[in-house]
Structure 1
Amino acid sequence: MTDILNGYEVSWAESILRVDKEEWNKLASQINFPFLEWDWLRLLEESGCVCLATGWLTAHMLVRYEGRLVAAVPLYVRDQSDGEFIFDRVWFEVAQKGGITYYPKLVGMSPYTPASGYRFLIAPDVNAGNVVRLVCQTLDRFCAVNNLGSSAFNFVDPAWTAEMETYGYATWQHQGYIWENHDYKDFEQWIGTLNGNRRKTIRRERKTLKAEKVRVEILVGDEIPEEYFPLMYKCYVSTNDKFGVWSCKYLNETFFNGLSKSMRKNLLFSVAFKEGHEEPIAMSMFVFSGDQLWGRYWGCFEEVRFLHFELCYYAPIEWAIAHNLNFYDPGMGGEHKARRGFFSSPCYSLHRFSDSSMDLTFKTYILEVNTLENGYINEMNDMMPIVKS
């Protein structure tokens, strides 16, 4: 389907492969968020992780002006919420009790990626306000024509929420974690901001690993051996298998192997070895771009005390300080992150329901939900093991 409105040509792509890579990435490069780059989205599709069978029907919106791609909106039609990580079951139940359509719905995000940064991809030399207005109007029509219950955007750029609220979207706040670099000269200066007990604990944990002859290497880009990608997949599987029905095992080996050819420039592995052995005993994978680092997946082949904290928290923080990165998002869940120097920080999703009564219900109660969530974030940060000024 193609529409021409006010000189803009709006169309829909059922696959990222229908869009020129250079055109797409020219827009994606404006926001410094690798999870919306062409190769990342292409790999999710080509590996079979994102397809109709897994509940992700690609429906990217493209906006052209005089033939040039000036905006792209990564979108998926969904008949479930698995892999979104916003846990909207309660809203589904509200809609169900009212006899209101909830699924299918239209969702904008990088699939299976609870990392903040989503927004529309817009060329810097066009009137962004006009483009956003056009996109939102088109989304409303698309949802109406296709009987979709809502349009939503998950893990959005926090600076984007106010603008989207003017187009009728309501903001839902979620709790996440963040580490911020305040111009630390080294790891020791950072842990100096933590209280005495926490400093002792971190030093003891790192000292214990050294005593057990465990060494950790940080490998970036082309430094990562090809054979480590299938090993990372095994780590991903083993970690998820430990959670049983709460597992989040959405990606396959084809995806991990494809990362070696498509996204190396943005990848960092922290790898642990036992003295005298060449095979890793544990690995953790990260994505970085600009001044930001995102923790993604981890797993081990041998259980070693404190190794998870070293590979997933301390080693990447040390690397971030050494390379002047400002922010490290370690991923969702785990109150142990707060005990290791990660502040609770709000993440946001945006929602607009097609049914007016459901939209009003959501907007009425989400204010209370956000107040409670913000209170929890403040409580978590009040308990942070930092030196009190």
Structure 2
Amino acid sequence: MASLTARWHRSIHEIPQSQWEDLLAQQVSPFYRWSWLEALEHSGSVAPDQGWQPLHLSLWRGEESLIAIAPLYLKGHSYGEFIFDQSFARLAGDLGLRYYPKLIGMSPVSPVQGYRFHIHPDEDAQDITVMMLRLIDEFAARNNILSCNFLYVDPLWQPLAEAAGCAAWVNHQSLWSAEEQKDFSDYLASFNANQRRNIKRERKAVNQSGLVVTPLTGPELTPELLERMHSFYEQHCARWGPWGSKYLQSTFFDRLVDPALARHVVLFSAHRGDPVEPVAMSLCIQDESHLWGRYWGSEEEIDCLHFEVCYYAPIEWALRRGLHSFDPGAGGSHKRRRGFVAQARTSLHRWYDPRMDGLIRSWLPRANGLMEEEIEAINDELPFRSKPPELMA
């Protein structure tokens, strides 16, 4: 049997696209495909000068056979993760420890569930997970790195990583699920009478402005449309000043017309004439079962337009396509009134200072319990929110 060799990669270009893709199961989301991650790197959206150093770990049997990949990044900050670890950073400071850089496993700037080590199906997934975590631990020790963090993990991979010593931290996000709904009328029927009236009123407000929303995907996408989408994205981020979360370069949007990416991209164009001349637009990502909302922007202030372009039109389209779920993106309590329920999302962590590791692991059971209560309260529409306990040194 050929021996195993580990390699660290400062760019995804060091791993052949065909071999990367061969390891990925069919159900892996577009956010972990080689073409998506490569577009982030190629565009400079994910780069050392942006605080994201690609540092992918691969495992090879012999010289030629790739058997496992851990997509990883060395981070100099916590932006673009949407898992808020300020308490951990403060604790590190209290203990006299340097919190950054840290290792992160996720699809950059995309808070979407699905992170895992991608392992060849003929290999023992538990053994390979343990081996790769040991390699990560050794790398962290050599380079004085305090932590390794896997965000939005795949629930099927989570037990393997927890069995190998990772600590679980529970947060939540919003998700719409089709369940038994077949069309938008079924979606409306899932609400009480008052909320049905609200949704109809909101859609009517957009219709009365003269706007029509048209979904565009695949070969319907053009460089001009993606350039326009980048402009909307840039304008929307600018409205929020230093908190605008503007992470993506224009050249990333340019790459979205490539066929490997365009088949996953859906633009919802709000227009009065030609769909390629939008007044507002949202960008979503799809696969065969799911839809993810990512970015939007508008050049006019129109009542309820955000709800139409970012929620109602995508849900209506998802139902027509027979998709199972729609993740609208991070944040926004207003999502809950529009059919999105709170669902637990787990991140897994390893801390390499014994004091910090012990303190956080003793805090997590209570924090996770309170988060589970909060999720239940949100979904029951109770008028309170639980806060996790303070993490003290």
Q: Shorter-chain-normalised TM-score: which range?
A: over 0.9
> Is residue 280 of structure 2 the alignment partner of residue 274 of structure 1?
no
Residue in 2 that maps onto 1:342? 340
Give the superposition deviation at 1:102: 1.9
Give the superposition deviation at 1:157: 1.4
Residue in 2 that maps onto 1:205? 202
> Is residue 42 of structure 2 the alignment partner of residue 38 of structure 1?
no
User: Contact 1:213/1:275 (CA < 8 Å) preserved in 2?
Assistant: no
CA distance in 1, matches of 2:322, 2:52: 37
Q: In structure 2, do the counterparts of structure 1 residues 204 and 71 end up closer, same or farther at CA, with 3 Å as the change threshold?
A: same
- Paired residue total: 380
> Is residue 57 of structure 2 the alignment partner of residue 64 of structure 1?
no
Letter in 1 for 2:362: T
Query: Which of 131, 138, 156 is equivalent to 1:159?
Result: 156
Q: In structure 2, do the counterparts of structure 1 residues 143 and 274 end up closer, same or farther at CA, with 3 Å as the change threshold?
A: same
> Is residue 166 of structure 2 the alignment partner of residue 169 of structure 1?
yes
Give the superposition deviation at 1:280: 0.6
Once the two structures are superposed, what CA deviation does each residue of 1:161-195 show, in whole Å capped at 9, x if it has no partner?
22211111111111200000113221101210111
> Is residue 89 of structure 2 the alignment partner of residue 92 of structure 1?
yes
CA distance in 2, matches of 1:215, 1:13: 46
Letter in 2 for 1:25: E
Deviates more, 1:219-228 or 1:148-157: 219-228
What are the equivalent positions in structure 2 for 1:215-364 lying under 5 Å apart? 215-261=212-258, 262-275=260-273, 279-364=277-362
Give the superposition deviation at 1:277: 8.6
User: Contact 1:31/1:121 (CA < 8 Å) preserved in 2?
Assistant: no
Moved over 4 A (4+): 275-278
CA distance in 2, matches of 1:108, 1:347: 14
CA distance in 1, matches of 2:199, 2:49: 44
Letter in 2 for 1:281: V
> Is residue 6 of structure 2 the alignment partner of residue 10 of structure 1?
yes
* TM-score, length of structure 1 as denominator length: 0.94
CA distance in 2, matches of 1:117, 1:59: 19
CA distance in 2, matches of 1:276, 1:148: 53
Query: Which of 24, 36, 59 is equivalent to 2:20?
Result: 24
Once the two structures are superposed, what CA deviation does each residue of 1:203-223 show, in whole Å capped at 9, x if it has no partner?
111122222211110111111
Once the two structures are superposed, what CA deviation does each residue of 1:134-183 show, in whole Å capped at 9, x if it has no partner?
11111111111111101111111133322211111111111200000113
> Is residue 100 of structure 2 the alignment partner of residue 135 of structure 1?
no
Letter in 1 for 2:59: V
CA distance in 2, matches of 1:79, 1:314: 37
User: Contact 1:155/1:348 (CA < 8 Å) preserved in 2?
Assistant: yes
Could you tell me which runs of 5 or more consecutive residues in structure 2 were left unpaired when the two chains were aligned: 383-393
User: Contact 1:81/1:88 (CA < 8 Å) preserved in 2?
Assistant: yes
Give the superposition deviation at 1:101: 3.2
Question: Identity, % of aligned pairs?
Answer: 38
Query: Which of 144, 149, 166 is equivalent to 1:147?
Result: 144
* TM-score, length of structure 2 as denominator length: 0.93
Letter in 1 for 2:234: V
Q: In structure 2, do the counterparts of structure 1 residues 21 and 277 end up closer, same or farther at CA, with 3 Å as the change threshold?
A: closer
Letter in 2 for 1:340: R
CA distance in 2, matches of 1:125, 1:34: 23
Give the superposition deviation at 1:226: 2.5
CA distance in 1, matches of 2:244, 2:175: 23
Q: In structure 2, do the counterparts of structure 1 residues 90 and 62 end up closer, same or farther at CA, with 3 Å as the change threshold?
A: same
Residue in 2 that maps onto 1:387? none
CA distance in 2, matches of 1:275, 1:379: 44
Residue in 1 that maps onto 2:388? none
